[in-house]
C-alpha cells in the first residue's frame, strides 16, 4: 500500500514538474496573449460575417437549376471550369519561393548588421551578388517575360 | 493578475478590430463620395433614417444600410463548386488581414494608477515578421475563391491574383529590410519610440527621412498587394466580371470587399508605423510639448495618450485617402507591365536600397 502511494506521489511530482516546465515554456509566449485574443475575436467576427447571408439571406426554390449556373455571358457554360492555365504562373510561384526564402535570410542579418560591421556588409554583398546573378539568369532566359 | 492581463489584452484586441472595421467602412464611403467628386457626379446620397432627416447621413450608408441589404441577399453557391472551400475563401481573405493589426502599436502607454498598459495588442519582438506572415496569408482567400467557384472567370482572377500578390510580396519584404537596418529591431513599438527624436531639434526623425526609396517601394508593393487600381488585374471588371469573387453574393461578397479596404488600412498602418512616426506627434513627449527654442507646455497624461492615438488615426486615414486618390487617378496596367514592375524594377531597386542603406550606416559609423 505504501509502495503504491509512494509511486503515485512520485508520479504526481513528475507530472507537476512537467506541467510547470510547460507553463514555464509558455511564459515566453506571454506576449502572444494579445495575438490569441485577436485570433479568437477576429475568427468570431469574420465567421459571423461570412455566414450572415446563409442564415438571414433570402432563399428561393424556383428555377434552381438556372440560378445555380456559373456566370457566363448569356450562354450555358460548357466544359470544365478548372482547365489548363499558362505554365508561366507556375514559374512565378517557383521563383517566388526561391527569392522569398532569401529575403527571410536577410532579416536576421539586418537586425545585427551594426554589430557585424564591414565584414557583415561584405558577406551580404556576396549573398546579394549571387542572388542578383540568379535574377539576371532567369531574366535572360525569359522567365520574367510575358507575351 | 493573469486574468487582468488577459482581460486587458481582450479589450485591446476588440478595440483594434473595431477600429480597423470602422475605418474600412468609413473608407468605403470616402471612396464612393471621393470617386464621385473626381468623376463629377453626386455619389451616394440616399442614406437617411425613414426619410425624416433633412440632410444626407453619409457613411450610415456603408456602416448600416449596405450591410443590412447584403445580409438579406440570397447566398449563392454555384453548381459544381466546392462548398467548403467556397465558404472558407472569404474567411481567409478577411481574417489574416484583420489580425495583422495585433502587432501595430496605436499609442505609447497608458498609465492608470500603477498599471502600465502598452497601447499595442501584442508586444511582439518579431512584429514585422508577424505582420508580413499574416498579410501574406491573404493570398489563400484569393486563390481558393477562384478555384472553388467552378467558374472560368473566377479561376483566371484567382491565378492572376496569386501570381501578382506573391510577386509583390518579395519587393515588399525587401523594402522593409532597409527600415529594419535603420532601426535595428523588428519590434514595431520600439520602432515607433525610435522616431520620437528631432533632427537639429526641428525635423521629426521619422522613418521616411532614413528610407525615402524604401517607403516608395513599400507603398507601391502595398497597393499591388491590395489588388486595387492600377493593379486590379485579379478583379478586372471589364475582362473578368469580378475576378476571383465573381460567384459570390451577399455577405461573402461583402467580405471580399471588406478585405480590400482592410488591406488598405493595414498598408497605411504599417507605412505610418515605419515611415511616418507611428503615434508620435511632433514635439510631444510623455510629459508635454517641447517646442524648439525651449518653450515647454505641460500636457496631462490622458491628453497626451489621446493626442497620440488621434495622430495615429489621422496619419493612417490620410494614407488611405491617398491610396483612394491613386485608385481613381491612374488607369489599369496590363498584366505583363504589372509583373515587370514587380520583378524587373521594384525587386532590383529594393536590393539596391538595402545595400546603399548598409553602406551609409557603415560610413556614418
Element spanning A48, H or E: helix A33-50
In angstroms, the CA B359 to CA B361 distance is 6
Q: Is the pLDDT of residue A17 over 80?
A: no
Residue A2 banded pLDDT, cuts 50, 70, 90: very low
CA B333 to chain centre: 22
A70–B129 CB contact, under 8 Å: no
B17–A38 CB contact, under 8 Å: yes
B344–A139 CB contact, under 8 Å: yes
Alpha helix locations (H) across chain B? 2-38, 60, 66-71, 83-100, 127-148, 152-183, 188-194, 207-210, 212-225, 237-240, 250-275, 301-329, 335-340, 347-364
Nearest residue of A to residue B88, measured between CA atoms = A50
Q: What share of chain A is helix, strand, coil (3-state, %, to 5)?
A: 75, 0, 25
The C-alpha of B106 sits at a distance from chain A's nearest C-alpha, in angstroms, of 14
Element spanning B284, H or E: strand B284-285
In tens, the pLDDT along A76-127 reads 777 677 777 788 888 888 888 888 888 888 888 888 888 888 888 898 889 9
Residue B96 banded pLDDT, cuts 50, 70, 90: very high
Residue B55 banded pLDDT, cuts 50, 70, 90: low
In angstroms, the CA B77 to CA A50 distance is 13
In angstroms, the CA B117 to CA B121 distance is 10
Q: Is the pTM of this model over 0.95?
A: no
Interface test with A, best of B173, B233, B243, B345 (most A CBs within 10 A): B173
The predicted structure's pLDDT at residue A6: 47
10 Å Cβ neighbour count for A43?
Answer: 14
Whether the Cβ atoms of residue B264 and residue B101 lie closer than 8 Å to each other: no
The predicted structure's pLDDT at residue B269: 92
The predicted structure's pLDDT at residue B319: 92
- Can you state the angle between helices B152-183 and B347-364, rounded to 10 degrees? 10
Q: Is the pLDDT of residue B1 over 60?
A: no
Residue B219 banded pLDDT, cuts 50, 70, 90: very high
Ranking A16-25, B111-120, B217-226 by mean pLDDT, the lowest is A16-25
Return the C-alpha cell found at B132: 508580413
Nearest residue of B to residue A70, measured between CA atoms = B78
In angstroms, the CA B146 to CA A139 distance is 29
3-state secondary structure B66-125: HHHHHHCCCCCCCCCCCHHHHHHHHHHHHHHHHHHHHHCCCCCEEEECCEEEECCCCCCC
| % of chain B surpassing 90 pLDDT | 12
Q: Which residues of B touch A70 (CB under 8 A)?
A: 78-81, 149-152, 154, 247
Which residue in the set A52, A93, A145 is minimally distant from B71, CB to CB? Answer: A52
Looking at this predicted complex, what is its ipTM? 0.82
B170–A100 CB contact, under 8 Å: yes
The C-alpha of B296 sits at a distance from chain A's nearest C-alpha, in angstroms, of 35
Domain boundaries, chain B: 2-42+71-364
Cα pseudo-dihedral B330, B336, B339, B342, rounded to 10? -60
Nearest residue of B to residue A37, measured between CA atoms = B10
Residue B58 banded pLDDT, cuts 50, 70, 90: low
In angstroms, the CA A94 to CA A122 distance is 28
Nearest residue of B to residue A85, measured between CA atoms = B156
In angstroms, the CA B137 to CA B121 distance is 20
Find where cell 520620437 sits.
B196
B152–A54 CB contact, under 8 Å: no
First to last CA, chain A: 83
The predicted structure's pLDDT at residue B277: 85
The predicted structure's pLDDT at residue A69: 77
More confident site: B54 or B89: B89
Q: Which residues of A touch B101 (CB under 8 A)?
A: 38
A57–B250 CB contact, under 8 Å: yes
Measured over all CA atoms, what is the biggest interatomic distance in chain A, rounded to whole angstroms? 84
B166–A93 CB contact, under 8 Å: yes
| % of chain A surpassing 90 pLDDT | 5
In tens, the pLDDT along B192-204 reads 888 888 777 778 8
In tens, the pLDDT along B322-350 reads 998 998 888 888 888 888 888 889 999 99
Q: Read off the pLDDT of each residue in B241-264 and give the average, rounded to a whole number.
A: 85
Ranking B101-110, B286-295, B338-347 by mean pLDDT, the lowest is B286-295
10 Å Cβ neighbour count for B246?
Answer: 25
Nearest residue of B to residue A143, measured between CA atoms = B343
A82–B354 CB contact, under 8 Å: no
Amino acid at each position: 500500500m505504501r509502495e503504491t502511494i509512494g509511486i503515485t506521489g512520485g508520479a504526481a511530482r513528475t507530472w507537476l514538474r512537467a506541467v510547470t516546465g510547460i507553463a514555464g515554456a509558455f511564459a515566453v509566449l506571454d506576449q502572444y496573449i494579445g495575438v490569441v485574443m485577436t485570433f479568437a475575436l477576429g475568427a468570431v467576427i469574420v465567421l459571423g460575417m461570412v455566414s450572415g447571408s446563409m442564415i438571414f439571406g433570402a432563399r428561393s426554390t424556383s428555377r434552381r437549376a438556372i440560378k445555380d449556373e456559373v456566370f457566363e455571358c448569356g450562354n450555358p457554360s460548357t466544359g470544365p471550369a478548372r482547365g489548363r492555365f499558362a505554365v508561366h504562373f507556375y514559374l512565378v510561384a517557383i521563383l517566388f519561393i526561391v527569392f522569398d526564402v532569401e529575403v527571410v535570410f536577410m532579416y536576421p542579418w539586418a537586425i545585427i548588421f551594426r554589430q557585424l560591421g564591414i565584414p557583415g556588409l561584405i558577406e551580404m554583398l556576396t549573398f546579394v551578388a549571387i542572388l542578383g546573378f540568379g535574377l539576371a539568369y532567369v531574366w535572360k532566359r525569359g522567365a520574367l517575360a510575358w507575351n | 493578475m493573469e486574468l487582468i492581463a488577459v482581460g486587458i489584452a481582450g479589450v485591446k484586441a476588440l478595440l483594434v478590430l473595431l477600429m480597423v472595421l470602422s475605418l474600412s467602412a468609413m473608407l468605403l464611403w470616402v471612396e464612393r463620395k471621393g470617386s464621385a467628386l473626381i468623376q463629377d457626379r453626386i455619389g451616394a446620397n440616399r442614406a437617411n433614417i425613414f426619410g425624416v432627416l433633412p440632410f444626407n447621413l453619409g457613411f450610415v450608408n456603408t456602416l448600416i444600410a449596405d450591410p443590412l441589404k447584403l445580409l438579406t441577399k440570397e447566398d449563392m453557391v454555384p453548381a459544381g463548386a466546392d462548398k467548403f472551400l467556397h465558404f472558407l475563401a472569404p474567411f481567409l481573405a478577411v481574417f489574416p488581414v484583420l489580425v495583422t493589426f495585433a502587432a501595430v502599436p496605436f499609442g505609447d502607454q497608458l498609465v492608470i494608477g500603477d498599471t502600465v498598459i502598452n497601447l499595442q495588442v501584442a508586444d511582439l519582438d518579431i512584429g514585422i515578421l508577424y505582420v508580413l506572415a499574416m498579410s501574406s496569408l491573404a493570398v489563400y482567400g484569393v486563390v481558393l475563391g477562384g478555384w472553388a467557384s467552378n467558374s472560368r472567370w473566377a479561376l483566371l482572377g484567382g491565378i492572376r491574383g496569386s501570381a501578382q500578390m506573391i510577386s509583390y510580396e518579395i519587393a515588399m519584404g525587401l523594402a522593409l529590410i532597409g527600415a529594419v537596418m535603420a532601426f535595428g529591431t523588428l519590434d514595431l513599438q520600439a520602432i515607433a519610440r525610435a522616431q520620437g527624436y528631432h533632427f537639429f531639434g526641428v525635423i521629426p526623425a521619422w522613418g521616411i527621412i532614413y528610407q525615402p526609396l524604401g517607403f516608395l517601394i513599400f507603398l507601391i508593393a502595398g497597393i499591388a498587394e491590395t489588388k486595387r487600381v492600377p493593379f486590379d488585374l485579379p478583379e478586372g471588371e471589364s475582362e473578368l466580371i469580378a475576378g476571383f469573387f465573381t460567384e459570390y453574393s451577399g455577405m461573402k461578397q461583402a467580405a471580399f470587399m471588406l478585405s480590400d479596404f482592410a488591406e488598405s488600412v493595414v498598408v497605411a498602418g504599417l507605412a505610418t508605423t515605419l515611415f511616418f512616426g507611428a503615434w508620435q506627434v511632433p514635439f510631444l513627449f510623455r510629459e508635454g510639448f517641447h517646442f524648439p527654442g525651449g518653450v515647454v507646455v505641460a500636457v496631462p497624461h490622458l491628453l497626451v495618450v489621446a493626442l497620440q492615438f488621434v495622430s495615429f488615426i489621422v496619419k493612417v486615414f490620410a494614407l488611405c485617402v491617398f491610396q483612394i486618390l491613386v485608385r481613381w487617378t491612374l488607369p489599369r496596367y496590363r498584366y505583363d507591365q504589372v509583373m515587370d514592375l514587380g520583378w524587373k524594377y521594384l525587386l532590383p531597386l529594393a536590393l539596391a536600397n538595402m545595400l546603399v542603406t548598409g553602406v551609409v550606416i557603415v560610413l556614418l559609423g
